[in-house]
Amino acid sequence: MPARWPVRLATVADADEVAHLLDDFNTEFDAPTPGVDVLAARLRVLLAGEATVVILAGSPAVAVAVVTVRPNVWCAGGVALLDELYVVPSLRGNGIGAAMVAELLSLARHRAVDLVEINVDEGDVDARRFYERHGFTSTEPGSSERAIYYYLELSS
């Protein structure tokens, strides 16, 4: 059980710690990262605003979840997207990810969010099972139709 690593919402004061975890995340998965200092500067802005929520587990933190909340015309409440979920490698399998998702859903209900979303790599069977266990689905009731995530990067 993750009682040793209680979940909490990050504040601006946690920006450096969040930045380190996110930098470790992308480094582990060979994804580009702008580095800890750039991330920490952005996080100080984002954590002071309403649209971004960061969940941490433990102190010092051993897991991070980044969530963005946005409005949607089809529901009275908002939509929350789980942008990132990372647990340090040595502590995986301890239920920390599950505790983070539980906190996300609790937070979503508290904020009157109607829909929680996440994009999961098709081949990442473990992650897909993990989210399905928590009630997420990729198809609508009575349909086998899934939606595929498409993106376009704009060069600045």
Binding site residues, its own copies, CB under 8 A: 22, 26, 32-34, 39, 42-43, 46, 49, 51-52, 66, 68, 70-74, 76-77, 81, 83-84, 105, 108-109, 112-123, 128, 131-132, 134-138, 145-154, 156
Q: How far is the CB of 79 from its own copies (least distance, A)?
A: 8
Q: What separation in angstroms does the CA of 6 have from each of 1, 65, 68?
A: 10, 13, 21
Tokens matching residue 36: 């800890």
Joined together, the tokens standing for residue 33 give 């990262």
Q: For the CB of residue 57, give the shortest distance to its own copies in the complex, in Å.
A: 18
Based on CB atoms, which residue is closest to its own copies, 9 or 51?
Answer: 51
Q: Calculate the CA dihedral of residues 107, 109, 115, 116 and round it to 10 degrees.
A: 30
Task: Give whichever of 57 and 107 is closer to its own copies, judged by the CB atom.
Answer: 107
CB closer to its own copies out of 3 and 71: 71
Least gap, CB of 7 to its own copies (angstroms): 18
CB proximity list for 77: less than 8 A, separation 6 or greater: 111, 112, 113, 114
Quick one: which of 106, 126, 104, 129 has its CA closest to 117? 104
* Closest distance to its own copies from the beta carbon of 4 (Å): 27
